[in-house]
Amino acid sequence: MTDAAQSHYRICPLCEACCGLELRTEGQRITSIRGFEADVLSAGYLCPKAVALKDLHEDPDRLRQPLIRRHGRNSPLEPASWDEAFALIAQRLPAVTAAHGRDALALVLGNPAAHKMGLLLYFARLLRAAGTRNFFSASTLDQMPKQLQSGLMFGHWLSLALPDIERTDYMLVIGANPVASNGSMWTVPDFRGKAKALRARGGKLVVIDPRRSETAEVADAHHFIRPGTDVFLLAAMVNTLFAEGLIRLGPAAPWLAGVDSVRDAVAGFTPEAVAGRCGIAADSIRQLARDLAAAPRACVYGRIGTCTQAYGTLVSWLIDLLNTLTGNLDQPGGVMFAQAPAFAANTVANTAGQPGVGRGVTTGRHHGRVSGAPEVFGELPIVQLAEEIETAGPGQVRALIVIAGNPVLSAPNGPRIAAALDQLEFMVSLDIYCNETARHADVILPGLSPLQESHYDVPFPQFSHRNQARYSAAVFAPPAGQPPEWQNLLRLTAILQGRGATADVLALDDELLADDLRRAGAAQPDAMLQALSAWSGPERLVDLALRNGPYGDKLGDPFGDQPDGMNLAKLAAAPGGIDLGPLQPRLPELLRTPSGRVELAPPLLLADLPRAWADLAAANGQPGQMLIIGRRDTRSNNSWMHNLPTLAKGPERCTLLVHPADAERLGLSDGGLARVSRGAASLQAPVVLSAAMMPGVVSLPHGWGHDLAGSRLGLASLRPGVNLNVLLDDGLIDPLSGNAVLSGVAVQVEAVAAVGA
Ligand code: SF4
């Protein structure tokens, strides 16, 4: 093996911005990580997390070998061979479903799976083989309201209206912090640079948030809003558009249905009616609506804070109503729809099928067994995982497979989830760490380092601010004997299909792909398989999807009639990817609603509005109560990056931000400890005084609490932080989407007396 210096192009798999990186290596050593200037999407941008890919690759705590409990649930996790690990799974898992039925097995998919093509593409195969209704994911801790609202309005779960930031004149950001995140459900690397360019060309950026966030710091204006009241503010803005004759439907007008119903639905939500509840003056609410309507090209973007609340789906809807009713839907400089080159575009179908009409989306095809929550996009609310394990009866969850997930830290009432996991008869985790959730497993199957895997952004081109396609090969070969994750998922699939632990997974892969092609009605499935034979595993699926996508060489029917079109070989030969241009108008072709219209007034949403109306009259909290919100830090992302030295160094990040006036009233001091409690649950966190907080609101980041016995995160455990989700109520959800309420929960805050004081 040579130790000569080499350069590698690599898409960063750590967050939704999907930046292109240039890694330099000498042998097995990484010598530098930089932004790749030729990347068609990120043009050299990177954030501090990217540099930590080296830490992640080298992390001694990253698992390289399976761990199993050889002698039952109470025995320790010990290193094992791959064959031994799968033999144990084959011995124990089918026995549970054979005795109790398919729903006795639940699957949990975590956020990092979205960034691993092997996991995401082969999870679908596992889920089909499992045949269970008990599927949970991080989506119901995050963006499910946005997906449901988009599905109801546009007909497809993945048809999200994205801000066209590079051409807009006015951008309103609510409940999002893209300077820290670089977009979420919106792939927009270097948001800060794009915001600067917006302002430099005379445009305006306005932020609404209970914290003067990093995004608010670079904006023209910022308004505090009381957490959880976005629904009232946005309804009042829509109301103002109608009341002041500011409705402008623009070129989308022929495809809009339900404008009058919207006007009637928001009639009572006047600025005066909501101002006190939101903490924003009525005149300011009117001016926000007027400014949005007056801008030649404008967009409204909302994200995590607008989804993780009791009215998440209504809020997501109102955001797109504002975009639509000001004439900015599907318009350059407004909000537009990406046309992804693969997957979201063709196999999941907002490009496939008959253009302009479809089946739309439905929810509630089945329900949670205990609380009765409706299935949404095939999922049940993850906050209800514990009760499905705890509650006896037909369909009780007795076995679990968790894939790249950590609900013990990331979901409300983590201690209850942890206790429930201990009641399981059998549990498998696929993870790179023995984290706070994986420590409960009977078998942990480690994944590869991201640098040992090739990469295609499966979901994110559908959310990209610009159409593009990129692929990067693995930087390092995987260690001898360690299978890639897609093969591990296929092995689990084979076990659930009754083929045992030693089935030939490559033959199974061929068989399943041939089934896919036949089900899709391919006229020449054998010829298609032959044409794909240069690739295997996930690459083969990417090649197929690219070739049959909107820019592809059309491997399907008619066969290969676009020879200049895209395929994976061409993409792999283009370091930095292929730019497919700015977003283009897609109405009415994009629509997949039964009516062939943009449904502005879906009955499911109108029926939920009275709940908000009734809540409007509620009091603004109890005396002494504070509202707690999370926050995003550039050096962190959920729960799994706290073991990386590059990101862990520096000041403590798991701190409670408190406005100085609140601190004085509560007897809190900068650097002192606060006890934050809700009912019997409480935690203690160091206080940082911050005038950036709205008075009456405190902020604590989520994903911390790395001091639980049995997890193996050495560095993270030295500064574990505390778990915000311990305080949160697993009974609180947005009833339409099943999304957890993580923001705006009322808590008590008090000073912790110093020892010896
Ligand atoms: S913003 Fe940072 S973590 Fe996210 S993709 Fe870009 S470099 Fe990676």
pLDDT tens string 590-610: 999 999 999 999 999 999 999
Residue of 609, 613, 657, 616 lying closest to 633 (CA atoms): 657
Q: Which fold has domain 1-51?
A: N-terminal domain of TfIIb (2.20.25)
Q: What is the pLDDT of residue 348?
A: 41
Ligand 1 centroid vs 53 CA: distance in angstroms?
10
Architecture of domain 621-751: Beta Barrel (2.40)
Domain with CATH 2.40.40.20 in the chain: 621-751
14 lines ligand 1 (CB under 6 A): yes
Average pLDDT for 68-72: 96
Q: What average pLDDT does this structure show over 697-707?
A: 94
CA of 329 to the centre of ligand 1 (A): 28
User: What is the per-residue pLDDT across 552-591, written as a single tens digit (0 to 9) for each?
Assistant: 998 876 777 889 999 999 999 999 999 999 999 999 999 9
Write the CATH number of the domain with boundaries 144-334+589-611.
3.40.228.10
641 lines ligand 1 (CB under 6 A): no
pLDDT recorded at residue 347: 47
Amino acid at 408: V
Distance 71 CA to ligand 1 centre (A): 42
Q: Decide whether any atom of ligand 1 lies within 6 Å of the 450 Cβ.
A: no
Average pLDDT over residues 241-264: 98
Fold of 64-132+381-458+471-475+483-503: Rossmann fold (3.40.50)
* Single-letter code of the amino acid located at 521: G
Residues 615-622, mean pLDDT to the nearest whole number: 74
* Ligand 1 near 328 CB (within 6 A): no
- 529-543, 638-652, 673-687: lowest mean pLDDT where? 638-652
Rounded to whole angstroms, the Cα distance separating 174 from 300 reads 8
Q: Tell me if 386 CB under 6 Å of ligand 1.
A: no
For residue 755, the model assigns a pLDDT of 58
19 touches ligand 1 (CB under 6 Å): yes
Where does 17-52 have alpha helices with state H?
48-51
Q: Decide if pLDDT at 352 tops 80.
A: no
Can you give the pLDDT at residue 346? 42
Cβ of 18 less than 6 Å from ligand 1: yes
- Check pocket membership of 178 for ligand 1, CB cut-off 6 A: no
Distance between CA atoms of residues 289 and 296, nearest Å? 13
User: What is the CA(712)–ligand 1 centre distance, in A?
Assistant: 25
Q: What is the 182 CA–ligand 1 centroid distance (Å)?
A: 8
pLDDT tens-digit series, residues 405-427? 999 999 999 999 999 999 999 99
Peptide bond into 558 cis (omega under 30): yes
pLDDT exceeds cutoff 70 at 526: yes
181 lines ligand 1 (CB under 6 A): no
| pLDDT recorded at residue 519 | 85
User: DSSP character for 245?
Assistant: T
644 CB under 6 A from ligand 1?
A: no
Is the CB–ligand 1 distance for residue 49 below 6 Å? yes
Q: Is the pLDDT of residue 8 over 90?
A: yes
Average pLDDT, the chain: 94
Ligand 1, atom nearest to 15 Cα: 4
Give the nearest ligand 1 atom to 35 CA: 7
Distance 190 CA to ligand 1 centre (A): 9
Residue 369 is encoded by which pair of tokens?
Answer: 């067994």
Please indicate whether residue 46, judged by its CB atom, sits closer than 6 Å to ligand 1. yes
pLDDT value, residue 641 = 87
- Assign 523 a pLDDT band (cuts: 50, 70, 90): confident
Ligand 1 center–CA 262 separation, angstroms: 39
- Residue 47 CA to ligand 1 center (angstroms) comes to 5
pLDDT, one tens digit per residue, over 254-268 is 999 999 999 999 999
Q: Is 15 in the pocket of ligand 1 (CB under 6 A)?
A: yes
The residue type found at 617 is A
Q: Is the pLDDT of residue 345 over 70?
A: no
pLDDT at 465 over 90: yes
Q: How far apart are CA 220 and CA 203, in angstroms?
A: 9
Does residue 23 line the site of ligand 1, with CB under 6 A?
Answer: no
pLDDT at site 682: 96
pLDDT of residue 757 exceeding 70: no
| 105-128: pLDDT as tens digits | 999 999 999 999 999 999 999 999
Least confident of 144-158, 541-555, 594-608: 541-555
Looking at the CA of residue 49, tell me the nearest atom of ligand 1.
3
Angle 505-519/537-547 helices, nearest 10 degrees?
20
Q: How many CA atoms lie within 13 A of 652 on its CB side?
A: 18
Say whether 118 sits in a helix, a strand or coil.
helix
In angstroms, the CA 308 to CA 312 distance is 6
Give, for ligand 1, the residue of 9, 10, 19 to mutate: max count of ligand atoms closer than 8 Å to Cβ: 19
Q: First-to-last CA distance in the chain?
A: 63
The residue contributing the CA closest to ligand 1 atom 2 is 47
pLDDT confidence of residue 754 = 67
Mean pLDDT of all residues in 709-732: 93
Cβ of 47 less than 6 Å from ligand 1: yes
How far is Cα 239 from Cα 702, in angstroms, rounded to an integer? 35
Q: How far does CA 52 lie from the centroid of its chain?
A: 21
Strand, coil or helix: 101: coil
- Report cis status (omega within 30 of 0) of the bond before 588: yes
Burial of 618 (0-12, 13-18, 19+ CB in 10 A): exposed
Strand partners, 426: 399
The per-residue pLDDT for 756 is 55
Q: Which of 303, 298, 299, 340 is nearest to 186 (CA)?
A: 303
- Asked if pLDDT for residue 349 goes beyond 60, the answer is no
Q: What is the mean pLDDT of residues 79-91?
A: 98
Indicate the top mutation candidate among 22, 39, 41, 49 to test ligand 1's pocket, ranked by most ligand atoms within 8 A of CB.
49
Does residue 627 line the site of ligand 1, with CB under 6 A? no
By the 10 Å C-beta count (0-12 exposed, 13-18 middle, 19+ buried), 355 is classed as middle
If one residue of 10, 14, 21, 36 were mutated to test the ligand 1 pocket, choosing by the most ligand atoms within 8 A of its CB, it would be 14
In angstroms, what is the span from residue 568 Cα to ligand 1's centroid? 24
Mean pLDDT confidence for 167-194: 97
> 277-287, pLDDT tens digit by residue?
999 999 999 99
User: Residue 209: is its pLDDT beyond 50?
Assistant: yes
pLDDT of residue 684: 97
Is the pLDDT assigned to residue 721 strictly greater than 60? yes
Ramachandran region of residue 477, left (φ > 0), alpha (ψ -120 to 50) or beta? beta
- 53 Cβ closer than 6 Å to some ligand 1 atom: no
Backbone angles phi, psi at 25, to 5 degrees: -135, 155
Other residues' Cβ atoms within 10 Å of the Cβ of residue 156: 26
Cβ(50) – ligand 1 distance below 6 Å: yes
The arithmetic mean of pLDDT across residues 19-33, rounded, is: 97
Task: Give the residue, out of 22, 47, 641, with the most ligand 1 atoms within 8 A of its beta carbon, to mutate for a pocket test.
Answer: 47
Q: Please tell me the distance between residue 18's alpha carbon and the centre of ligand 1 in angstroms.
A: 6
Pocket of ligand 1, candidates 51, 55, 56, 182: which has the most ligand atoms within 8 Å of its Cβ, to mutate? 182
